[in-house]
Amino acid sequence: MPNNPVPVITIDGPTASGKGTVAHKVADRLGFHYLDSGALYRLAALSALRRGADLNDEHALAKLAEHLPVRFDGPVIMLANENVTEAIRAEEVGNLASKIAALPAVRQALFALQLGFRKAPGLVADGRDMGTVIFPHAKLKVFLTASTEARAQRRYKQLIDKGISANMEDLLSDLKARDDRDTHRAIAPLVPAEGAHLLDTSNMTADQAIAEVLSWYAHRAPK
C-alpha cells in the first residue's frame, strides 16, 4: 500500500456507460479533484489529427501524449489555452482514441501524467484501467456499465441534442467495435478491478447511480 494518504475513487467502464457524468458529479459532491482519463487519450487523438501525425507511428503518438498541456476546470477540458470539451467528443476523435489506447508506448507516456492528478483532498478518476492499473489501491473501485443498446441510445441523444446528425445502427456498430478493442487489447484490457463494486446503469438515472456510489464511499471499510 503506498504512503500517499489522499483517497481515490475509481470509476471504470465501457464507452457511453455514463461513468463520466457519475464521476464528475461524485467529485463535485465530495469536493474532490476529477480525472477524465479517457479525455487524455481523446486529447492525444485530437492533437494527432490536427498535426497530421502518422497514425501508424507509435513512437510519435507517444511523444504527443507525453507532453499534453491539459487542464480540467470542472467539466471544461483545456488543451493549452483552448477549450476543447466539445472537440474531443467527435466520433472521429473517439474512434482514434480507442485505437491508440491499445498502444503500449502511448499508455506508458500517459501513466505518470495520470498519477499526478492525485491531490488533496481526494480524486475521482474515471476511465478503463483506473482501478486495475493506475490506482490499484484506491479507497473505492466501481465498475460501471450498461447494455450496448442503452449506451447507444444515450450517445444518440447526446449527439442529437448538440445538433449533430447520428445513425443508431452506426452508433451500435462503433460501440461494439470499441468494446471489443477495449476488452481484448493486450495491455490493460477493460475488466472490473479486484474488489470493484459492479453497477449496471441500464435502467438507472444518473442521480440514482451517483447516490449509489456516494453511499458505497460513505460506508467503505477503512484501510
Annotated binding-site residues for ATP read 13-21
Q: With b meaning 16 or more CB within 10 Å and e meaning fewer, what string describes 110-128?
A: bbebbeebbeeebbbbbbb
Q: What are the distances in angstroms from CA 206 to CA 129, 142, 155, 170, 192?
A: 22, 15, 14, 25, 20
Helix, strand, coil percentages, rounded to 5, for the chain: 50, 15, 35
Annotated binding site: 13-21
By DSSP bridging, strand 123-127 and strand 33-36 are parallel
